[in-house]
Amino acid sequence: MILLLIIILLFIAYGILIFYYRQSWKAIPVYTPVSRTTTTRVSVIIPARNEEENIGRLQTALQEQTYPAALLQIIVIDDHSTDRTAEVVRQFPGVTLLQLTDDGINSYKKKAIETGIAAATGELIVTTDADCWCDINWIGTIASFYAANNSVFIAAPVAIECSAKLVEVFQAYDFAVLQGITGAAVYKNIHAMCNGANMAYRRDVFYEVGGFTGIDTIASGDDMLLMYKIWKKYPDRVHYLKSEETIVYTRPVPTWKAFFSQRIRWASKATQYDDKRIFAVLGIVYLLNLSFLVLIVAGCWNHTFWIYAAGLWIAKTLVEFPFVSSVTAFFDKQYLMKYFFFFQPLHIAYTILSGLFGQFGKYEWKGRKVS
């Protein structure tokens, strides 16, 4: 009875949290710029490692931006690529290509971004990943929002474009949920959350908060850890930009092994968060998901616990459905909802495993073993 009472209390807390996220997500106004004509000079920073198959698509999208070319600087930092990444980048006019020379460090991506910002001339830094692509109004809408809201940091939406493969569809669903939480959290200023594939910040503020100093030995966290440093200085000027024109699209990783490696990488920075507000959220989410494992194991001695686990599965689905449905509608991915109920066990399992293994702090990414 004590076990069931704890799980019921966890579920109530989780339900309140998800309801709050849903209401907050729906409350975010969709931004429609009156004009995309600003005088803001923008520098787009793109770290790249072995991205010859992807970076051409991003560069083409950046060449087609409606934002004035005179105000737009594109910087690619080649992170020790062993393929034709640099050669592909050189095919596009006006792109600054830098080579990362540092070796033996723990956070190559932070060093690459730092190198790009040092060479940037823009007032506003926009970061994305080399395997992404965007709408032609991406930069113009970000610059317009920045000017209209006096922002120092902007988090913006990211979506995964997938095929019909299960591993890819699951990533698209999971990523959409994370994006909904991101938007809600930033809009309501309840905790820092963002994705480095689509965010922007003032160059002078980056240096004002010391850049990556203090977090430069952490392999991951070039986005959320930096965001929190800026939030501490300017808590009322960190904003979320909800606009279909600013969605950055990315590809899913191709295998389950790569997916778990990616999620372990993301989870590995959790213990490094200075933003203590997020720990309560992470704790509630993780413990509720862990409850399923506890009930299943307990069911080996008393089969009634398996019935409780099934009931919790249904209840969790019902609580999450309105929120996830609202988020997928914004990203035009309503088709994902037909998989929603059946993805629950998979989502629960990966949450438990990535949370556990993420604490060991070791994983492989881009051909590197990182600790």
Mean per-residue pLDDT over the chain, rounded: 90
Q: Retrieve residue 175's tokens.
A: 């990523």
CA 368, CA 82: separation in Å to the nearest integer? 13
What is the domain extent for residue 10? Answer: 2-24+275-370
| 335 and 236 together in one domain | no
Q: What is the DSSP secondary structure assignment for residue 222, as one 8-state letter?
A: T
For residue 149, the domain's CATH number is 3.90.550.10
pTM of the complete model: 0.90
N-term to C-term CA, the chain: 41
Q: What is the mean pLDDT of residues 26-31?
A: 96
pLDDT score of 261: 80
Summarize pLDDT for 192-203 with one digit per residue, the tens. 899 999 999 999
Q: Out of 35-39, 121-125, 353-357, give the one with best mean pLDDT.
A: 121-125
Q: Are 363 and 261 in contact (CB under 8 A)?
A: yes
In a domain, 183, yes or no: no
pLDDT at 106 over 80: no
Q: What is the mean pLDDT of residues 292-312?
A: 92
| 206 and 337 together in one domain | no
Using 50, 70 and 90 to split pLDDT, how confident is the model at 94?
very high
Summarize pLDDT for 267-289 with one digit per residue, the tens. 766 666 667 778 888 889 999 99
| 282 and 248 together in one domain | no
| 279 and 227 together in one domain | no
* Of 117, 141, 137, 136, residue with least CA distance to 127: 117
* Of 11, 136, 123, 9, residue with least CA distance to 61: 136
Using 50, 70 and 90 to split pLDDT, how confident is the model at 371?
low
In a domain, 311, yes or no: yes
pLDDT score of 260: 83
Q: Are 268 and 220 in contact (CB under 8 A)?
A: yes
Q: Retrieve residue 307's tokens.
A: 């019935």
pLDDT at 310 over 70: yes
| 231 and 346 together in one domain | no
In a domain, 361, yes or no: yes
Strands (E) across the chain are located at 42-48, 72-78, 95-99, 124-127, 132-134, 153-155, 158-160, 199-202, 238-240, 248-250, 363-365, 368-370
